[in-house]
Structure 1
Amino acid sequence: MSKEQEKEKAADDLIALLDASDRLPGVAELRARSYELLGAEPGAPMVDVGCGAGRAVAELAERGVKAVGVDPAQQMITVAGGRWPQADFRIAGAYELPLADTTMDGYRADKVFHELAEPERALAEARRVLALGGRIVLVGQDWDTFVIDSDDPALTPTIVHARADFVPGPRAARRYRNLLFDAGFDDVTVEVHTGVFAGAAMLPAVVGLAEGACSAGAVSRAQTDAWIDEQRRRAEGDRFFLALPMFVAAGTAPR
C-alpha cells in the first residue's frame, strides 16, 4: 500500500469512527447543547472548525444559521460536500481561517483542540473572526480521564495515560476555561456532560487505548492481551463499563 493509499485509508477509518460516535447515546444532545450555547439564531453567520464529515454544519443550517465548515483534510471536505451539497465547506486549519475579520457571530470546535499544539494561536484566530459579542464554544474530552472498570485497577490508568501521550494536547479540555480567559473572552462557563457506556459499542475505543499503550512500550504485549481479553469478556457478559466526561466551554468576545 502506498503512502497516499495509507492516508486515504486513515481518513476513511476516521470518518467511520466519527459516524459511529455520532450514533452513541447522548452525542446528539451534546451537539444540540453546543448550538444553544452558541446562540444559534436564523441568519447568524457561524463557523464550525474541524467540521469533519459536516454533520454539525448541516444541523446548524437546518436552524437557519449561515454555517461555514472548515477542516484541513481534503477527504473530509469531499465527504461533507457529498453528503450536504448545499452547505459551505472549505479546506482550512484552525490557525488560518478563510474568513474576514469580525464576520462571525459564532465559533464552534468539537474534539479539535486536543489535536492542536498551539491552542492559544487558534483562539487568537477565533478572536479575529468573531464579531463583538460573538460566541465561542469548545467541546472535547480530557484524554487522561477515561473511567474504565477492570479487574486490574493499577494497570488501567497506566494504559490511559500512555495513550494520552500520543495526542498533541491531551489535557486541553481541562484548560478550556483558562485558555478562554487568557485569550480575552468574557462570560466564560464550563459544563461537564458524562457519557456512560455499558454495551459493546465502545469496546473498540478501549482496545485502541490498550494497543496504543503497548506500542509506546508502557505495557507489555502479555499485559495488553490479558487486559483486552478481560474487556471483551465484560462486553460479552454485559459487564463492560466506561464513563467519559465531555467538557463544554463557552465564552463571549468582548464588546
Structure 2
Amino acid sequence: MSGTETVPQVFHRLAGDYDEFLPFFTEFGREFLRVLRPGAGARFLDLGCGRGALTGFALDAGCRVTAVDAAPGMVDRVAARYPGVDARVMDAHALDLPDGSFEHVAASFVFSLLDAPDVAAAEVARVLVPGGVFALTTPAEPLDEDGPTDLAGELFGELAEHLGEGPQMGAPLDAEALLVAGGFTDVRGEHIEVRIPVPDPETFWRWLSSHGSAAYLERLPAVRRAEFHDRLVADLATKDEIILYRAATVWSGRTPVQQ
C-alpha cells in the first residue's frame, strides 16, 4: 500500500476478495433491508455499493436499483452479478444523478469513510423525493455482553501507535447529528447484529485483511502485523467455536415534504 493511495483506490484493489471469506457485508445488508423495508417498485440508490450487499436484497424486494461506488473494481463486480442494475462509478460528494430521483438512498458502512459527510448528505437530500428516506449504518457495540468475542478490536487499539503513513479508513461519525444538520426529519436509529460462524482462525484473519481493515494492517511494520496475526490466531484457536459477532446502528431520516 502506498502512502498516497486514496480510499477508493484501496477498495478497488480489494474488490476481488471483498466479502469473499466471510459474508459480513452480505449479512449486514440483509439486516439493513429488513429494517428499511422498501416497497416494490421503489427507486433505490445503493450509495457506496461495494460488491452489492444491499443491491441484491433491494432487488429481492422488487426495487429499481441504481448502485454507485467510487471504486471501479466494485462497480464492475456489481454490474457483472446484477446485469439489470444501473451500476456506475461515482463520487458520493458529487452525485451525477437528477434531483428527486429516488424514494430510498442507503449507505452501508460508507459515510465514516468520506472526506466531507455533510456534503454527501446534502447530495443525498437533493436526489431524494420529498418524504424520501435516507438510511446509513455505523458500527455499534453488541448488546450481548456475554456473546462471542475476539481480540481484533483490542489489537487495533493497542498497535495503533505503530502505524505508518497511509489512508485513514474511517473516522468517528455522529450519524444522528449529520441527519439533523442535513435537514432530515423523523430521525431514528435501530440496532442490528450479525453472528457469522468462522471455520478456522486463518479464515478470520483473511476476512480481516479483505476490507477496510486491510489499510490499517498494511500500515503496520511487518513485525507488528505478524504480531497482530499471531496473537489473534492464537486467541481464536482456544475457542470451541469461532463466531464473528458484530453490531451496527441503522440511522434513518426523511427529506421534508413540501407544503
Q: TM-score range by the shorter chain?
A: 0.7 to 0.9
Once residues 82 and 113 of structure 1 are traced to their aligned partners in structure 2, the CA distance between those partners, rounded to angstroms, is 25
- The DSSP-based 3-state class of the residue aligned with 1:248 is strand
- The DSSP-based 3-state class of the residue aligned with 2:99 is coil
Structure-2 change in CA distance of 1:99 and 1:233 (3 Å): same
- The DSSP-based 3-state class of the residue aligned with 1:18 is coil
Contact 2:208 2:214 in 1 (8 A): yes
- 1:3 paired residue number: none
Contact 1:135 1:250 in 2 (8 A): yes
Contact 2:48 2:107 in 1 (8 A): yes
Structure 1 unaligned segments of length 5 or more: list them.
Answer: 1-6
- Please give the per-residue CA displacement for 1:192-226, whole angstroms capped at 9, x wherever unaligned: 33445674343335578699368357xx93x6544
Structure-2 change in CA distance of 1:241 and 1:159 (3 Å): farther
Aligned residues: CA RMSD: 3.6
Residue 157 in structure 1 maps to residue 157 in structure 2? yes
Once residues 43 and 210 of structure 1 are traced to their aligned partners in structure 2, the CA distance between those partners, rounded to angstroms, is 37
Once residues 207 and 166 of structure 1 are traced to their aligned partners in structure 2, the CA distance between those partners, rounded to angstroms, is 15
Once residues 123 and 215 of structure 2 are traced to their aligned partners in structure 1, the CA distance between those partners, rounded to angstroms, is 35
Contact 1:210 1:224 in 2 (8 A): no
- Please give the per-residue CA displacement for 1:44-92, whole angstroms capped at 9, x wherever unaligned: 1110011122242232122211111111222222221111112221221
Structure-2 change in CA distance of 1:154 and 1:177 (3 Å): closer
Contact 1:72 1:92 in 2 (8 A): yes
Once residues 55 and 241 of structure 1 are traced to their aligned partners in structure 2, the CA distance between those partners, rounded to angstroms, is 20
Once residues 246 and 58 of structure 1 are traced to their aligned partners in structure 2, the CA distance between those partners, rounded to angstroms, is 20
Which of 76, 79, 84 is 1:78 aligned to? 76
1:25-174 superposed matches below 5 A: 28-141=26-139, 149-150=150-151, 157-159=157-159, 166-167=167-168, 169-172=170-173
Once residues 106 and 155 of structure 1 are traced to their aligned partners in structure 2, the CA distance between those partners, rounded to angstroms, is 37
Deviation of 1:8 (Å): 8.7
Once residues 183 and 162 of structure 1 are traced to their aligned partners in structure 2, the CA distance between those partners, rounded to angstroms, is 37
Deviation of 1:128 (Å): 0.2
- 1:13 paired residue number: 14
Normalised TM-score (structure 1) = 0.75
Normalised TM-score (structure 2) = 0.74
Code of the aligned partner of 1:157:
G
Give the aligned length. 236
Contact 1:138 1:248 in 2 (8 A): yes
Q: Give the number of the structure whose residues are more often helix, by fraction.
A: 1
Structure-2 change in CA distance of 1:118 and 1:161 (3 Å): farther
Contact 1:47 1:106 in 2 (8 A): yes
Once residues 45 and 214 of structure 2 are traced to their aligned partners in structure 1, the CA distance between those partners, rounded to angstroms, is 35
Structure-2 change in CA distance of 1:207 and 1:162 (3 Å): farther
- Please give the per-residue CA displacement for 1:106-141, whole angstroms capped at 9, x wherever unaligned: 000112112201000000000001111101110233
Higher relative contact order (CA 8 A, sep 6+): 2
Contact 2:140 2:247 in 1 (8 A): yes
Contact 2:15 2:74 in 1 (8 A): no
- 2:255 paired residue number: 253
Code of the aligned partner of 2:70:
P
Structure 2 unaligned segments of length 5 or more: list them.
Answer: 1-7, 142-147
Code of the aligned partner of 2:168:
V
- 1:215 paired residue number: 219
- The DSSP-based 3-state class of the residue aligned with 2:51 is coil
Code of the aligned partner of 2:229:
I
Code of the aligned partner of 2:157:
P
Once residues 179 and 29 of structure 2 are traced to their aligned partners in structure 1, the CA distance between those partners, rounded to angstroms, is 20
Identity of aligned pairs, percent?
22
Code of the aligned partner of 1:14:
A
Once residues 11 and 56 of structure 1 are traced to their aligned partners in structure 2, the CA distance between those partners, rounded to angstroms, is 18
